């Protein structure tokens, strides 16, 4: 018996899905493109929401921003569910290893000044992170276009993860009573009330892109610089190198997320003069209240050095805003 083996080339009838071919041409698409572009439903709505009968279930008019193509809000990280979970799994492995090393190196025996920073400054921030979760969930629910909706849902889940990471640190340093004390600080300590007000006021912002600016651009920029740069440096000077070690995930996350936030804002302000004016107005409104909130915290920690700390934070934010066209 004789067997002849042959190879043949099979030419596919098409390289990708029709909707992607219309946008990018008939060529193989990336997983990010397949999971992101032109998925937003824009027809066949069977009913209007009873809580908002003047809008469709998915409606471009829920923001004053106008875009010719809502998929211009693309994510430079190219996150779809697969790449997102792989990236976060690797980061979590690093965070776990750092935490275990910190515990073995005496996380529960920090110098008093650093212990105070952990329990009275870092730990109450888990409530700020919960606010970030709430706001990004809102944007994902009421935004328009999968590019922004998916990325905001990933951000929402990240904020829960960061809140849990902060809680983990607090439990290791101060036990369960530390969580209750941190909640009391968030609710009643005078220095924290301007930040708490910013977070709670953000819950009633109805324009989802304004909320994106308020939370992801302004509040996060100021709070993260304050906490994970300046408070971190203070902890290091007080002999608390472990503070920086156990919060490295947050710093890395913010650096990565900043790329996405800036790309979204740059796309919006670059679309039209009207968009730029709107974003500029929102920026001025929310920057003032957020700056007051962070300054209140800084004064309780840095005292006479507060002005220098705030000048540095504001300078960094201003440089970032200029890069995105504001």
Question: Distance between terminal CA atoms of the chain?
Answer: 77
Per-residue pLDDT of the chain (326 residues; tens, 9 = 90+): 677 777 778 777 788 888 888 888 888 888 999 999 998 888 778 888 888 888 888 889 999 999 999 999 999 999 999 999 999 999 999 999 999 999 888 888 889 999 999 999 999 999 999 999 999 999 999 999 999 999 999 999 999 999 999 999 999 999 999 999 999 999 999 999 999 999 999 999 999 999 999 999 999 999 999 999 999 999 999 888 899 999 999 999 999 999 999 999 999 999 999 999 999 999 999 999 999 999 999 999 999 999 999 999 999 999 999 999 99
Domain ranges of the chain: 79-323
Nearest-CA neighbor of 70 among 145, 152, 153?
Answer: 145
CATH architecture of structural domain 79-323: Orthogonal Bundle (1.10)
pLDDT, tens digit, 9 for 90 and up, residues 118-165: 999 999 999 999 999 999 999 999 999 999 999 999 999 999 999 999
Contact 23, 38 (CB under 8 A): yes
CA angle 122, 123, 126 (to 5 degrees): 100
Would the pTM count as exceeding 0.85? yes
Closest CA to 235 of 107, 88, 129: 107
3-state helix vs strand vs coil in the chain, percent to 5? 75, 0, 25
């Amino acid at each position: 018996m004789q067997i002849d083996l042959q190879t043949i080339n099979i030419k596919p009838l098409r390289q990708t899905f029709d909707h992607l071919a219309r946008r990018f041409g008939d060529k193989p698409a990336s997983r990010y493109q397949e999971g992101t572009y032109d998925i937003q439903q824009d027809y066949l709505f069977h009913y209007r929401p009873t809580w908002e009968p003047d809008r469709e279930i998915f409606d471009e008019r829920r923001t004053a921003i106008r875009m010719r193509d809502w998929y211009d809000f693309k994510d430079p990280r190219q996150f779809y569910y697969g790449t997102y979970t792989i990236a976060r799994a690797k980061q979590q492995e690093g965070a776990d290893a750092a935490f275990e090393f910190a515990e073995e190196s005496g996380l529960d025996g920090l110098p008093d000044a650093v212990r105070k920073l952990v329990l009275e400054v870092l730990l109450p921030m888990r409530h700020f992170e919960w606010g970030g979760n709430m706001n990004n969930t809102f944007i994902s629910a009421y935004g328009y276009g999968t590019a922004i909706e998916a990325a905001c849902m990933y951000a929402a889940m990240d904020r829960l993860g960061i809140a849990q990471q902060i809680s983990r640190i607090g439990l290791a340093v101060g036990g369960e009573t530390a969580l209750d004390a941190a909640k009391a600080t968030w609710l009643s300590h005078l220095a924290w009330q301007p930040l708490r007000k910013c977070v709670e006021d953000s819950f009633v912002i109805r324009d989802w892109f304004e909320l994106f600016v308020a939370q992801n651009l302004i509040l996060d920029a100021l709070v993260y610089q304050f906490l994970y740069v300046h408070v971190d440096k203070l902890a290091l000077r007080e002999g608390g190198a472990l503070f920086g070690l156990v919060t490295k995930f947050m710093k890395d996350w913010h650096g990565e997320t900043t790329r996405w936030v800036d790309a979204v804002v740059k796309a919006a302000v670059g679309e039209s003069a009207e968009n730029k004016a709107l974003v500029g107005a929102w920026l001025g409104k929310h920057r003032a209240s957020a700056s007051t909130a962070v300054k209140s915290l800084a004064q309780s920690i840095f005292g006479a050095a507060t002005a220098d700390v705030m000048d540095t934070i504001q300078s960094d934010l201003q440089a970032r805003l200029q890069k995105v066209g504001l």
